[in-house]
Amino acid sequence: MSARVHITPLHRITVTETAAWHRVVAASTALDLPGVPAPSAGHVHAQLTKPALGSQRLTWLATAEDGTGVGVAALRLFTQPGQDHLAELELHVHPEHRRRGTGSQLLSAVVAACRTEDRRSLVVAAGADGPGEAFAERWGFEAVLTLDHLVMALDKDEDLARIRQMADAEHPGYRLTGWSGVVPDELAGPFAAAKNAMNDMPMGDVDYGRVDWDADRVREMGRVVTGRGDTLLTLAAVHADGTMAGYTEIVLPGGAPQRAQQYDTAVAPAHRGHGLGLWLKAAMAERLRAEHPGVTEVETDNAEDNVHMLAVNRSLGYRSYRRTREFQLDLATP
């Protein structure tokens, strides 16, 4: 059954629009992703109003005849060379207003914008085997990547003893260094070189392109995360010759979060096979316990075919609790 809704592009996000957006996302998340903490109103406002790294954002709000917000869509348009063919979608419809055509109207506006912006690929994530997956398939999206989401508890004694042992393991020729927020200037170049190691990460069939990191871009990444009110923690393994051999990143959402989010972990090809990824992630867990005792768990995700990192995470005590799939729409075909 279709219903009359009004689709409004948002430009200067108001307090009222932020509240409507948060209401829709919180209700959608609670139903579709049980166990996943809904974003706070402050986090939603920051997401909608603060700059994103290497991209710009378009947003739409769907309202019912009485003015109530019933659906939202955010389109991230990547702007850096190597990814300027790509767009990424987040779409939510309030559970009380589904199966009335709201999602389809929002997606029609998104696809039209993608074509105007000359994008060839539109990607979106949805909970595996859920309503979002069925919606994507109806619109002709192709499943291109399955992600396994895992959580590690930081308050279980049987896991902590093992993690501490891994963090204290000897790695001759390497030392750990860490920072919060923006990378220190003297490490920006080596960090950018290590970041480029992520370009060989398994990504299924996603038309993701390539990200080329330099010192300016890694500094900007730190400023973007900090600017939206989150805390970015980084640990790096530095070789005796000064090369940054690997790193791991954790983000603490603004406020007093119990769950931290794992961002990138990577080891440069020349330094693989020495257990650096496991060492870095174990040491980060120890850092979280020491500096942020209110954080009791960490969530990460892995492509199902990234066998090495899945093994690392499971040895740390991560446990699977849900799956998502990445879907891709080919916009090059009329």
In a domain, 221, yes or no: yes
Backbone angles phi, psi at 145, to 5 degrees: -160, 135
Would you state the pLDDT for residue 192? 96
Tokens of 137: 């398939």
Instruction: Using the predicted structure, report yes or no on whether residue 200 has a pLDDT greater than 90.
Output: no
Tokens of 43: 């986090």
Higher pLDDT among residues 224 and 34, named by residue = 224
Judgement on whether residues 157 and 87 belong to the same structural domain of the protein = no
Query: Which residues are CB-neighbours of 66 under 8 A, at least 6 positions away?
Result: none
Judgement on whether residues 192 and 43 belong to the same structural domain of the protein = no
Would you state the pLDDT for residue 157? 79
For 257, the domain range is 149-322
Provide the pairing of β-strand 86-93 with 121-127: parallel
Instruction: Using the predicted structure, report yes or no on whether residue 154 has a pLDDT greater than 60.
Output: yes
In a domain, 141, yes or no: no
- Give the residue from 264, 278, 243 showing the smallest Cα distance to 169: 278
CATH number (domain holding residue 69): 3.40.630.30
- Give the residue from 243, 318, 308 showing the smallest Cα distance to 284: 318
Tell me the C-alpha distance between 66 and 4, whole Å. Answer: 10
Judgement on whether residues 207 and 253 belong to the same structural domain of the protein = yes
In a domain, 258, yes or no: yes
Instruction: Using the predicted structure, report yes or no on whether residue 334 has a pLDDT greater than 70.
Output: no
